[in-house]
Amino acid sequence: MKQLENLTDETLEELTKTGKHMFLFTASWCGDCRALAPSLPEIEAEHPDYDFISVDRDKFMDLAQKWQIFGIPSFVATKDGKEIGRYVNKERKTKKQVTDFINTLPQ
């Protein structure tokens, strides 16, 4: 999974303008994020049509606020520059829940 290292509105627009992306908002201190971490390589492998990008919510708080990320881990899917779905809440997420979310997204 790629790590978002730096961010401006221009780099985010350039990154997302074509293709399908899955943004995972996380933080190093997040227990629910650590619980999900072992499943992430499988989730990513099962959905090769998405470019998975990990976003440290604490490092990129402006983006988290702009995208209304209220809990972590949270997922935001984009396609060709437009948001197509989100799985954002304060609950712990399982591999099945994340996979079910991805499978409901428009192709």
Q: Which residues are catalytic?
A: 30, 33
Q: Are 75 and 57 in contact (CB under 8 A)?
A: no
71 — phi, psi (to 5°)? -150, 160
Q: Are 66 and 38 in contact (CB under 8 A)?
A: no
Dist CA 94 CA 80 (whole Å): 27
The dihedral through the CA atoms of 23, 26, 32, 33 has a sign that is positive
Omega before 73 within 30 of 0, i.e. cis: yes
